[in-house]
Amino acid sequence: MEGPRRGGGQGGFTLLEVLVALTLLGVLLVGLQQGFRFGLKALDLQTKVTSRTAELDATDRALRRMIESMEPGDAAGVGKVMEGRRDRMTFLSTLPLAANIDRRARMTILVSPDKRLVLRWSPYRHEKSFQSPPPDTETLLLDNMERIDIAYWRPAALGIKGGWIDDWSLPGLPGLVRIRFSFPPGDPRHWPELIAAPALDPVQR
């Protein structure tokens, strides 16, 4: 006698096949999860890099604009208008700020003791005032900065050889200003040196 036959010739999955399918599904899910995490990390890194680059670009444009707008001062001005050292620079220029304030200011660029690149400025008046000058306003340009190294281009004249110097105490303005930026060790930011030409003295125009 023949035993009972399976109807339709169709059989179910064996236990081994089910285990293999579950294993493959688990591997796929783990791969998808890792890929998702990698994508999030890549997006976060790209966002941080873009933010840092935009911040550096904005600061670079502001510094370049202020240096290129340097003024030699008024003939009746009191004291030096431009004083430069290796770690800071004081000059008369136009603030890249809102138009509803006095944009002409005497300003100083330096790295503060708490490692911030700052702009200290006060409105400039060519006339003498009998009132005490207001305290300088400090504007943060960039945080977490190690130092800056500034050099000034002295044009050749009257037998004096031109070249870069670390201290500017001469009358008038330097031919060029070069600023090199250094970040703390481990900081991934990179800022190429800035070289800009100040406005020429009226006699030189």
Q: Where are the domains of the chain?
A: 55-196
pLDDT at 129: 55
pLDDT at 68: 92
pLDDT at 126: 59
What are the tokens at 104?
A: 């002409």
CA gap 35, 47 in Å, rounded: 18
- Burial of 119 from C-beta contacts in 10 A (0-12 / 13-18 / 19+): buried
This prediction has a pTM of 0.67
* DSSP 8-state class, residue 107: E
Give the E-state strand segments of 36-87 in sequence order: 83-84
Q: Three-state SS string across 136-173, please?
A: CEEEEEEECCCEEEEEEEECCECCECCEEECCECCCCC
pLDDT at 77: 47
For residues 168 and 83, is the Cβ–Cβ distance under 8 A?
yes
CA gap 161, 68 in Å, rounded: 24
pLDDT at 202: 42
Dihedral pair phi/psi, residue 157, rounded to 5°: -165, 140
For each of the chain's 205 residues, which pLDDT tens digit applies? Answer: 455 545 555 567 787 777 777 788 888 877 777 766 766 565 555 555 455 678 888 889 899 999 998 887 654 444 567 899 999 999 999 887 654 455 788 899 999 999 999 999 988 765 555 566 668 889 999 999 999 999 999 888 767 788 999 999 888 889 999 999 999 999 888 888 999 998 754 444 3
CA gap 183, 190 in Å, rounded: 8
CA gap 41, 45 in Å, rounded: 6
